[in-house]
């Protein structure tokens, strides 16, 4: 699977989770999310086609001997799929405990976990990005959109 498909597939998973929870809403309440979901599915289909064409046209890479010695010792064929599985697993586990942990804590833990899984090691980024994103999303959903996250075990705002 091409790397550029990971984020759209995660978005489709979140979209499916939304539709699973929003089954009883009125037609007027779901019209905008339905349109947004349709656009997302169309864009994902286009990305799938473009990725499939790129994979079919790609020639085998003969630059293996030019790689750094340390990089050649790293088993990329094992690390990348394990990293992707860990990212999907983190999202799935946090989604399962969405109501128990609360939306604010899940956003923080998801952002922190993704940064660590993607290889970020600078402590300033690991501290401020999850906190900033959590505050921004809490303000956006609670203040602007008037949508409440589940309170869970920790209520910051």
- When the pLDDT of each residue in the chain is averaged and rounded to a whole number, the result is 76
Q: Tell if the pTM clears 0.85, that is, is over it.
A: no
Predicted local distance difference test score (pLDDT) of residue 129: 93
Q: Are 112 and 126 in contact (CB under 8 A)?
A: yes
Dist. CA 63–CA 136, nearest whole Å: 43
Q: What is the band of 130 on the pLDDT scale with cuts at 50, 70, 90?
A: very high
DSSP string, 87-102: HHHHHHHHHHTHHHH-
Burial of residue 23 (CB within 10 Å: 0-12, 13-18, 19+) is exposed
Predicted local distance difference test score (pLDDT) of residue 39: 82
Q: What is the band of 112 on the pLDDT scale with cuts at 50, 70, 90?
A: very high
Residue range 23-78, pLDDT digits in tens: 777 777 777 777 878 888 888 788 777 777 776 776 555 455 445 555 555 555 55
- Least reliable range by pLDDT among 69-83, 100-114, 142-156: 69-83
Q: Are 154 and 104 in contact (CB under 8 A)?
A: yes
Per-residue pLDDT averaged across 107-122, rounded? Answer: 88
- The DSSP call for residue 143 is I
């Amino acid at each position: 699977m091409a790397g550029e498909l990971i984020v759209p597939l995660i978005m489709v998973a979140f979209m499916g989770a939304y539709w699973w929870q929003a089954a009883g809403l009125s037609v007027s309440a779901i019209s905008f999310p339905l349109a947004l979901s349709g656009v997302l599915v169309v864009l994902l289909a286009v990305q799938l086609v473009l990725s499939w064409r790129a994979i079919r046209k790609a020639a085998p890479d003969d630059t293996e001997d030019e790689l750094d010695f340390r990089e050649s010792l790293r088993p990329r064929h094992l690390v990348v799929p394990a990293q992707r599985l860990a990212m999907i697993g983190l999202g799935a586990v946090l989604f399962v405990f969405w109501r128990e942990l609360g939306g604010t804590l899940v956003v923080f833990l998801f952002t922190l976990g993704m940064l660590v899984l993607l290889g970020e090691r600078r402590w300033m980024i690991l501290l401020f990005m999850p906190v900033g994103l959590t505050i921004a999303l809490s303000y956006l959903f609670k203040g602007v959109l008037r949508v409440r996250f589940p309170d869970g075990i920790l209520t910051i705002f």
